[in-house]
Structure 1
Amino acid sequence: MSQSKPSFSDKKQITYYSRLTQLGIGEEILITLPELSGLMFTSTRHCRTLLGQMHEYGLIKWEPKVGRNQRSTLTLLYTLAELKAELAQNMITAGDYEKALSLIDNDKALFEKLLVHTSGTQMREGQLHIQLTYDRPFSSLLPHQPQRNSERFLLRQIYSCLTRCNRDGAVSDALAHHWIYDETNLVWKFFLRPGLSFHDGSEINAEVIVSLFKELQTRPPYIKELAHIQSISASGALCIQFELRRPDPGLAGLFADVRYSIQPISQLLSTTKAIGCGVFQIQEHSDEKLKLITNNQYHGYRAFTDSVTIWQVSRSKDYNPGEIEIRTGGLVSNQSSSCSSYLSAGKTNSGLSEQVHNRIEDGCLLGILNHRSHFTDSQLKKIRYLLFSNESLKNKLDQSLDYNIEGVLAYNLLPNWVKLSAITDNDTQLPKKISVALFNHKGLEGCAKAISSILADNGIECDINCYSFDEFYRRAFASTLSEDLLLTSVNFDDNRPTSVYCWLLSDPVLHQSLPQQQRRWLYQELEALSSITTPQNYLTQLEPIATTLVASHLLLPMFHHKQTLHFEGLLQGVKMSPWGWPELRDVWFEQ
């Protein structure tokens, strides 16, 4: 049924069509108009009108014969189920989700398939709408809570920080338009833009931000990072002043981290609807969908996109994490990679070119050996060699039917950092049993199964405990993850230098696993670094610190994912974010 033809969506019209389906589908039927009007329970005049409309809509082939009792030729082209699905798809494209679900009798499985098929961009009444699907509901979008990769991407859409920091460490303005660092008196001042507000209309001023940062100072995820701040105060309505105990020339870059997003202080004690100050605001957040709409009061450039709706849909067994279903129109993407996206203009465009962006993620799937296991140094070396320092893990994953990873072996936290190889004493005896903990993440689950298989090949039993993400981090904050090997996913944000710094300084999984001596050493190294270095030089000095942890067999990098974004050539402004998602605010196309 061509999208250029008028919508056939009236329930009475569908009822009339359903009465015809008893004649059969796809077969030429010789029948008189009175016979048809009898089947449809309507007058011959109305019947003639309905048949003409159905023919125009492409539902039937109707070849009427002139004359009383002449048999005309009728061919029905759709089953009733096919018709409803086609009409529901058009309703979804028009944004009439409730009507579509009602039309298909609340068939959730079919509704999800139609959502996937119609994903992409649509212009409705001059506004640009993006519809996506994702494989799980999103957790509460609160920046002070531990968050997965995709949630952190969404936090960047919903919130703003005092500053921005790019992947090379260059700091630029956001809510603060200028900042000054007094090296002599160890004082930072940040100057806010006038007229700032949260999505609920409440004012953002210096007092609001002072109260927020004072509260953050008391919370475990922030204590180490803010321990050197002696006092926080407002110097006028638009100036925040931080007095330090020690030098920190990179504080402006630290405040660009997504965890320092500006939010109402009341939100720290609440799990209700998130209120931000970013380019998009939340209109609806449920287990079924997340809908964002543009924030017309945003302090920077308004998004081209007027709304983004992300539906939660179930996935088939061959689905891999990181896939964001954004496909419709003339191009069909059949990706099997673990971090791929497809973005379409939402039109049928035969011969339309496809463009591809791809990159290796800044981060990796990572194993961390738990100091509670009391492995000897030689056992640590052998575990690293056996599981992580050759092709055995990737080979096991390649043999698996459950998970197809597209990526490269990791030897350090970042793909461009020094590559370390391991040697081992083959006579070293390992324990008869090794336990593994992870959170529910398909990539980690695949790695855990591969590790278990490798250990079994070497006569070692493996116990695997898979927690929810929230439970995994709750145990990490409480230092109660007792398993020998902890598997996690580390994907650094757009503020790459300060994101790596914050992870090394504050990640609860890492710090609950390190021996006390190594924790103390790590804190001292990071404190010394931040006392003399700006974010533009962080990575150069963080690399040897991370490399030492890898060389000590405490960090065990596994894979860097390859992130891929496919999109139609018609679309403009398509860029891949560090989280593998397209930059939603910048997408546009010429109508």
Structure 2
Amino acid sequence: MSSPRLRVQFETLFEHFNGQDANAQLEDVVDILFCTRRNARIVLNKMEEEGWIEWHPAAGRGKLSKLIFKRSRADVSENLARRYLDEGKIAQAFSVLDHDASKLTQVIQSYLGVQHQEGLQVVRLPYYRPLSVLNPLKPMRRSEQHIARQIYSGLTRFDESEQLKPDLAHAWQPITPQHWRFYLRPGVRFHNGNLLTTEMVVESLWNLRFVNLFSHIDKVESPADCIVDIWLQKPDTRLPLLLAECCAKVLIPESERGENFDLLPIGTGPYKVVLNDEKRLVLQAFDNYFGFRPLLDRVEVWVIDETHSSMVFPSLSNPVKNKRGSSTEDVDLDPGCTYLLLNRRDGIAADETWAEYLCHKLSAMNLFKLMPEQNIVELGVLPAHGLKPGWYHQVPVSHSVTPTEPKRLTVAYHAQHPTFPMIAKAIEQLLKEDGIGVDFIKYELTVENAREVDIWIKPMGIASHRDDALAGWLLNDSDIEHLSRPDDFRRWSGLIDQWRAESQSNFPGKEIGKSLVESRQVIPMFHCWLGVSKDQCGSLQNAKCNALGWFDFSQVWVKPEFESGFAE
């Protein structure tokens, strides 16, 4: 394969002769490339082999040879970039294209979608940012949660219909309201080949006591091999349901984790991570998976800056969205919303006057009016009137007064997000009308001093359409515990405890959602459309969009294309 150096040498010649065929002596090439006569001949021969030039040497000293350019500078760069992409070397392809993201996007289009490589079924998906935190013990965004569910297993899981199913535990039973017993599958192995032992499951579950959702775990023991007992400090009839949460995945012991565990985790799920960097995540089907081996051999997520869509296009050769609402597009609203989280404990909204002002001034409709129409259509957003689609909860109406002091506040949001910068700009514009300035904190994972933030722009990122998914979000993922007034949070968590204690009760989702809004803790902003375009699926079958905006890699397959041989 030609080297980047050869490309640079070609570009040097191309620029010197302005891309025009020319008569030249070998000494001219020596001077242009600053090399010896021998190296000049080698370089010219290699360029001819690549099909970039023709070099017709003239016989006799002092005679002019003929240099013919068969490719332009752009052609050579793109061809070299394509070769790098064939080898999965996205960074090198980016480099030979002079780090031009738009050029890389154009070249990379033909590499997306369903591919067949050496007899393997491969799907390449575009995404707009790296997926760098795949550790269930750390805060994970929506897409990371989806990938984690492909890598790890828990005691239980939800199927495509969001019904509770066995996973590492093939059965379970309540011994008492505060004592559950789980029966484990034997012979399960991690992606590195190590056997999953009962002791490892006990250790992983015991560590869950540090997670708010499972802080009531009293002890975890194993009375016999492949049996795990969990004792609780208070009754919980919903424990198997909540153990399907992403934070409850069973992890390999800490002593066996590598330094880059967040990037290259080891699980027991249907796919294992073989590569994860700034440009590409590669998942490979795990042949020793205890369930059905995935039919898709490899899934590659390619980071392309321009892919700012909530739609997943599984097999695009040209990922351009259809108009929304087409009959061939299977779309649904996300089960949560983007929202503003007010710091009612330490921030400016601890003052009731400020909290009331912000809820009225920064309402979803006020912000929606300021968002560019093109972005609204492209990103598929619409105003939210509650935490979930169909919920309608409003702040109590009263006379809103613009506070006099202070005149600045702080807003924090994820740096890499397609919608948040627009929301931030709209917030700044609205508050400026009342003479209030805004300082922004853009973060990747966490904010160093979260207590100084007044408003957070956040996504809910819940993993199912079930109302009880709000339990894990509220207790674990929302940060509301640290930003709310203690009495408020005790009331919300108390409602969840009551639901957990009573097996026949319905989850109080609407009651919690209403209280969060009316107490001026959260301001629902926008819902967005999630879906999979059937027109773009091609030969990929069963690609159903889930609540996280992706499809379950382990459930899809590629329909072969062949001639049947039957006459019409």
Q: TM-score, normalised by structure 2?
A: 0.78
Q: Answer yes or no: is 1:198 the counterpart of 2:174.
A: no
Q: Answer yes or no: is 1:420 the counterpart of 2:394.
A: yes
Q: 1:300 aligns with which of 291, 315, 318?
A: 291
Which AA in structure 1 matches 2:343? Answer: N
- Summarize the Cα distance change of 1:159–1:497 in structure 2 as closer, same or farther, 3 Å threshold: farther
Q: Secondary structure of the equivalent of 1:290?
A: strand
Q: 1:181 aligns with which of 169, 174, 179?
A: 174
Q: Deviations over 1:214-272 (max 9, x none)?
A: 2232x3xx1x3223322210121111111223221110011100111111121698642
Asked if the contact 2:311–2:532 (Cα under 8 Å) also holds between the matched residues in 1, the reply is no
Task: List gaps (5 residues or longer) in structure 2.
Answer: 23-39, 54-67, 562-568
Residue of structure 1 equivalent to 2:524: 557
Residue of structure 1 equivalent to 2:424: 448
Higher mean C-alpha deviation, range 524-533 or range 431-440: 431-440
Asked if the contact 1:119–1:327 (Cα under 8 Å) also holds between the matched residues in 2, the reply is yes
Q: For 1:587 and 1:422, how far apart are their aligned partners in 2? A: 51
Q: Report how far residue 312 of structure 1 moved.
A: 2.8
Residue of structure 2 equivalent to 1:388: 363
Q: Report how far residue 278 of structure 1 moved.
A: 0.7
Q: Answer yes or no: is 1:511 the counterpart of 2:481.
A: yes
Which AA in structure 1 matches 2:453? Answer: E
Asked if the contact 1:505–1:526 (Cα under 8 Å) also holds between the matched residues in 2, the reply is no
Q: For 2:203 and 2:362, how far apart are their aligned partners in 1? A: 47
Asked if the contact 1:354–1:568 (Cα under 8 Å) also holds between the matched residues in 2, the reply is no
Q: For 1:78 and 1:106, how far apart are their aligned partners in 2? A: 15
Residue of structure 2 equivalent to 1:465: 440
Q: 1:436 aligns with which of 384, 396, 410?
A: 410
Q: For 2:79 and 2:221, how far apart are their aligned partners in 1? A: 60
Residue of structure 1 equivalent to 2:494: 524
Residue of structure 1 equivalent to 2:564: none
Residue correspondences, number: 512
Asked if the contact 2:198–2:228 (Cα under 8 Å) also holds between the matched residues in 1, the reply is yes
Which AA in structure 2 matches 1:483? Answer: V
Q: For 1:469 and 1:100, how far apart are their aligned partners in 2? A: 21
Q: For 1:268 and 1:530, how far apart are their aligned partners in 2? A: 34
Q: Report how far residue 276 of structure 1 moved.
A: 0.7
Q: 1:265 aligns with which of 253, 277, 287?
A: 253
Alignment of 1:15-164 (within 5 A): 78-79=71-72, 81-83=74-76, 85-86=78-79, 88-89=81-82, 92=85, 95-98=86-89, 101=92, 105=96, 107-109=98-100, 110-111=103-104, 113-164=106-157
Q: For 1:187 and 1:277, how far apart are their aligned partners in 2? A: 26
Identity %: 21
Residue of structure 2 equivalent to 1:350: none
Q: For 2:401 and 2:94, how far apart are their aligned partners in 1? A: 68
Q: Secondary structure of the equivalent of 2:549?
A: coil
Asked if the contact 1:408–1:561 (Cα under 8 Å) also holds between the matched residues in 2, the reply is yes
Residue of structure 2 equivalent to 1:483: 453
Alignment of 1:575-590 (within 5 A): 575-585=544-554, 586-590=556-560
Q: For 2:474 and 2:93, how far apart are their aligned partners in 1? A: 50
- Summarize the Cα distance change of 1:430–1:488 in structure 2 as closer, same or farther, 3 Å threshold: farther
Q: Secondary structure of the equivalent of 2:204?
A: helix
Asked if the contact 1:248–1:530 (Cα under 8 Å) also holds between the matched residues in 2, the reply is yes
Asked if the contact 1:26–1:77 (Cα under 8 Å) also holds between the matched residues in 2, the reply is no
Q: Secondary structure of the equivalent of 1:97?
A: coil
Q: For 1:169 and 1:23, how far apart are their aligned partners in 2? A: 65
Asked if the contact 1:327–1:333 (Cα under 8 Å) also holds between the matched residues in 2, the reply is no
Q: For 2:94 and 2:478, how far apart are their aligned partners in 1? A: 48
Q: For 1:88 and 1:226, how far apart are their aligned partners in 2? A: 49
- Summarize the Cα distance change of 1:112–1:398 in structure 2 as closer, same or farther, 3 Å threshold: closer
- Summarize the Cα distance change of 1:409–1:103 in structure 2 as closer, same or farther, 3 Å threshold: closer
Residue of structure 1 equivalent to 2:565: none
Asked if the contact 1:140–1:271 (Cα under 8 Å) also holds between the matched residues in 2, the reply is no
Residue of structure 2 equivalent to 1:65: none
Q: Answer yes or no: is 1:356 the counterpart of 2:344.
A: no
Q: Deviations over 1:164-194 (max 9, x none)?
A: 1358763111111111112x46321111111
- Summarize the Cα distance change of 1:378–1:291 in structure 2 as closer, same or farther, 3 Å threshold: same
Q: Secondary structure of the equivalent of 1:256?
A: coil
Q: Report how far residue 132 of structure 1 moved.
A: 2.7
Which AA in structure 2 matches 1:504? Answer: L
Q: For 1:246 and 1:205, how far apart are their aligned partners in 2? A: 28
Q: Report how far residue 104 of structure 1 moved.
A: 8.0
- Summarize the Cα distance change of 1:446–1:336 in structure 2 as closer, same or farther, 3 Å threshold: farther
Q: Report how far residue 134 of structure 1 moved.
A: 2.4
Task: List gaps (5 residues or longer) in structure 1.
Answer: 1-8, 30-39, 61-74, 341-352
- Summarize the Cα distance change of 1:249–1:513 in structure 2 as closer, same or farther, 3 Å threshold: same
Q: Report how far residue 471 of structure 1 moved.
A: 2.3
Asked if the contact 1:158–1:281 (Cα under 8 Å) also holds between the matched residues in 2, the reply is yes
Q: Report how far residue 25 of structure 1 moved.
A: 8.9
Which AA in structure 2 matches 1:309? Answer: E
Asked if the contact 1:355–1:568 (Cα under 8 Å) also holds between the matched residues in 2, the reply is no
Asked if the contact 1:431–1:460 (Cα under 8 Å) also holds between the matched residues in 2, the reply is no
Asked if the contact 1:438–1:467 (Cα under 8 Å) also holds between the matched residues in 2, the reply is yes
Asked if the contact 1:150–1:579 (Cα under 8 Å) also holds between the matched residues in 2, the reply is yes
Which AA in structure 1 matches 2:281? Answer: L
Q: For 1:456 and 1:310, how far apart are their aligned partners in 2? A: 40
Which AA in structure 2 matches 1:532? Answer: E
Which AA in structure 1 matches 2:118? Answer: E
Asked if the contact 1:115–1:133 (Cα under 8 Å) also holds between the matched residues in 2, the reply is no
Higher mean C-alpha deviation, range 297-306 or range 319-328: 319-328
Asked if the contact 2:155–2:243 (Cα under 8 Å) also holds between the matched residues in 1, the reply is yes
- Summarize the Cα distance change of 1:291–1:245 in structure 2 as closer, same or farther, 3 Å threshold: same
Task: Give the superposed CA RMSD.
Answer: 4.0
Q: Secondary structure of the equivalent of 1:471?
A: coil
Q: Secondary structure of the equivalent of 1:195?
A: coil
Which AA in structure 2 matches 1:449? Answer: K
Q: Report how far residue 117 of structure 1 moved.
A: 4.0
- Summarize the Cα distance change of 1:382–1:589 in structure 2 as closer, same or farther, 3 Å threshold: same
Q: Report how far residue 125 of structure 1 moved.
A: 2.3
Q: Answer yes or no: is 1:406 the counterpart of 2:380.
A: yes
Q: Deviations over 1:549-585 (max 9, x none)?
A: 1122211110011124332443322221222123323
Q: Secondary structure of the equivalent of 2:460?
A: strand
- Summarize the Cα distance change of 1:463–1:172 in structure 2 as closer, same or farther, 3 Å threshold: same
Asked if the contact 1:367–1:488 (Cα under 8 Å) also holds between the matched residues in 2, the reply is yes
Which AA in structure 2 matches 1:134? Answer: Y
Q: Secondary structure of the equivalent of 1:545?
A: helix
Which AA in structure 1 matches 2:207? Answer: E
